Structure 1
């Protein structure tokens, strides 16, 4: 591995992920790896897709939260010749990384990424969108992306909980009629919530 596209979501988590960028690039440089930095921030015109259209990278490394890595998965799944994906957790909840027991320490994460030990991971598809963690419908399924980013930066995980409590009366009126076909039988009915999980927890809660 000699060439990495580093996607840094400076909005995720506490909003200070950019401060670790030099540290990450230095770690990679010490291993002889060339790094191109793609920041995700306000008023930045070029996104990861623009870089991937113009160059073949060995790996895309994301620094951010669950949404950041999911966006990268959706981008890479549409490519025929996909680079590998690395991830440094730096979001609000980091459910995905907790399920895989990924390290959050920047130096240790860089060491794991550059070790060359790749693993396969299952990806699902739901209504044309790829998911690596969970796809859901019904009550509270929109909480993760409708919670204000500034509130997440300030209050962390509590921002999700507060949003869920405030919107609970509306969400609990939700009903989705679904027919679900599985290897073990078919199910049909009205559901308040449903989730397809590739995970041991959802929204920070074990299932």
Structure 2
């Protein structure tokens, strides 16, 4: 009998996943799969690494939002747990799972997991921390951490948008210097993102040519422009139209980036507050296998 370890966050999203545990047990049991549960803790989950080694499963599952996926990926890399990972999106934001399309039909996805079909995807690495989807800096970078948990669980993604709209008067452009595989760029911007997939902040298809297994990451930054142009770019993003070829938008693909600014700028790594600039970001090619 195959064994899987499920790493689940009991409070992610609307804190409702724990009510689906019996459904998960039945769904996998019906498929002849034994699932061993690991409930995450706020104070840290380093014990997950020896737990997985003791259980010796055929694969891993994660249930939660982007932050929970970020955490298990870092545990897997630090613990050298090279096992395929299944993503059950149940958080406020599930960008990477959305890009892979794994949760559109959960029963079909469980069949995929049982079959063992997977693909290897790249990761990013910044200051010793891995990210699976996005590293960003500037305006809105840490909005997710400033939103009250109770409001976030009640309003979902809308809580982020409301907080962002409320902070619009505070947005300021800042100087950015970028080195990407030896090429140099300078611009005034209020936000940059380095992405592994084209789904960011629940906005789909933000750039053309983005792939999770091409050994590169993609940087997007909106340069200083008029309010009407900024609103037009934002409207395209919300509508799911790629903006990588728009005027005032810098799009660079590279294996490594060095990013700095003349002022204090904080970063965000997969929805978690990251280090202040400067940042050195590297691609780790085909680092993790994902059931899909």
Query: Normalising by structure 1, what TM-score?
Result: 0.86
Unaligned runs of 5+ in 2: 207-292
Of Structure 1 and Structure 2, the greater helix share is in 1
**Length, aligned pairs only:** 205
The C-alpha deviation readout for 1:91-140, integer Å capped at 9, x for no partner, is 22321111111124443332221121111111111222111111111111
Given that 1:11 and 1:41 are in contact with CA atoms closer than 8 Å, whether structure 2 keeps it comes out as: no
Match of residue 172 from structure 2: 173
Taking the TM superposition and a 5 Å limit, the aligned residue runs for 1:128-139 are 128-139=128-139
Match of residue 195 from structure 1: 193
Taking the TM superposition and a 5 Å limit, the aligned residue runs for 1:88-167 are 88-167=88-167
Given that 2:3 and 2:57 are in contact with CA atoms closer than 8 Å, whether structure 1 keeps it comes out as: yes
What's the offset of the Cα at 1:196?
A: 0.7
- Pairwise CA RMSD: 2.5
Match of residue 202 from structure 2: 204
CA distance change for structure 1 residues 168 and 203 in 2, over 3 Å: closer, same or farther? Answer: same
Aligned to 1:178, the other structure's residue is in SS state: strand
What's the offset of the Cα at 1:47?
A: 5.6
Structure 1 Cα separation of the partners of residues 124 and 163 of structure 2: 27
What's the offset of the Cα at 1:11?
A: 1.0
What's the offset of the Cα at 1:40?
A: 2.9
The C-alpha deviation readout for 1:175-205, integer Å capped at 9, x for no partner, is 354332236x321345321111112131112
Match of residue 21 from structure 1: 21
Mark the structure with the bigger radius of gyration.
2
